[in-house]
Amino acid sequence: MNKDLKILLVDDHSVVRHGVSVLLKRAFDKVTITQADSFEDLLTKLNQKHDLLFLDINLPGGNSTKMIEQIKASQPDLLIMMFSAYDESRYALRYIHAGANGFLNKYSKDEEIIKAVKSILETGKYISDVVKEKIVENALLNKPINPLEKLSDREVEVAELLVSGDGNLEISNKLNIQMSTVSTLKNRIFDKLGISNVVRLVEILRVYKN
């Protein structure tokens, strides 16, 4: 790579930023890495031109696909690599469809990270094997990209109340339904989303509910 490579690395964990910075500096001769630890900090750094953005999903001040829209409004040509510990089979397509150029798992090996960076710089995108399989699966089986599409309107209402901290009694009173109905709806939500606790439900709603 002949020109200087400018990368903006955004993650709220300094150890992650440091580790990735060291790896990238070893792999590329001419690279300048700027770091940010929050979405607000990221927006201020967009005053400078960058080639590639490493962006964590769960970031202070911004933790949904709406981040991509704001970033693209400031730098339309900026390549965005989502960099997250979240399961890419669940989250990657959502962010790619929102405008990200790739999705890379934080637990990827060093060689995979370098391969991903080279791919996104050369082709404008990076699609991992996991994401390729998900794309084919969705196309062949017509599966919804957004798992919340599996839920009925009432189930979405209950899910949002569960995430807000309400128990079965509070939900029963707010929606004017029987507690047994709330319990049934909760079980349906968990079954449809393939989860077993409210913590996972919080993660899914954070990403997919705009």
Tens digit of each residue's pLDDT, the chain (210 residues): 557 899 999 999 999 999 999 999 999 989 999 999 999 999 999 999 999 999 998 888 887 788 999 999 999 999 999 999 888 887 888 889 889 999 999 999 999 999 999 999 999 999 988 888 888 877 777 666 778 888 888 999 999 999 999 999 999 999 999 999 999 999 999 999 999 999 999 988 887 775
Question: How many Cβ atoms are within 10 Å of 81's Cβ, its own excluded?
Answer: 24
pLDDT for the residue numbered 122: 95
SS3 170: helix
Task: For each of the domains in the chain, give its residue range(s) and CATH number, in order of start.
Answer: 5-139 (3.40.50.2300), 147-208 (1.10.10.10)
The pLDDT assigned to 35 comes to: 97
Q: Which DSSP category does 6 fall into?
A: E
Q: What integer pLDDT is reported at residue 109 of this predicted model? A: 94
pTM for the model stands at 0.73
Question: Which residue, among 202, 193, 210, has the nearest Cα to 155 in the 3D structure?
Answer: 193
Q: Would you tell me how many other CB atoms lie within 10 Å of the CB of residue 18?
A: 13
**Chain position carrying tokens 């009925």:** 152
53: Cβ contacts below 8 Å, ≥ 6 apart = 7, 8, 10, 42, 71, 78, 79, 80, 81
